[in-house]
Amino acid sequence: MTQPLSLAQNSQWLKAVADETRLLLLCLIASESELCVCELTGATELSQPKVSRHLSVLRDQGLLNTRKVEQWVYYRIAEGLPNWLVDLINQQVLANHSALQPLVKQLIQQGPAQSRRLRWCKST
Cα-based torsion angle of the residue sequence 62, 54, 77, 29 in order, rounded to the nearest 10 degrees: 180
Q: Is the pLDDT of residue 121 over 90?
A: no
The Cα 69–Cα 115 span in angstroms is: 15
Query: For the residues of 12-35, what is the DSSP string, one character each?
Result: HHHHHHHSHHHHHHHHHHHHHS-E
> Would you state the pLDDT for residue 70?
82
Query: For the residues of the chain, what is the DSSP string, one character each?
Result: -PPPPPHHHHHHHHHHHHSHHHHHHHHHHHHHS-EEHHHHHHHH---HHHHHHHHHHHHHTTSEEEEEETTEEEEEEPTT--HHHHHHHHHHHHHTHHHHHHHHHHHHHT-SHHHHHHHHHHT-
Per-residue model confidence as pLDDT tens digits over 79-89: 999 999 999 99
Higher model confidence: residue 108 or residue 54?
A: 54
Domains in the chain: ranges and CATH: 7-122 (1.10.10.10)
Comparing 50-54, 98-102, 112-116, the range with the smallest average pLDDT is 112-116
Q: Is the pLDDT of residue 105 over 90?
A: no
> Would you state the pLDDT for residue 1?
36
Per-residue model confidence as pLDDT tens digits over 52-85: 999 999 999 999 999 998 888 999 999 999 999 9
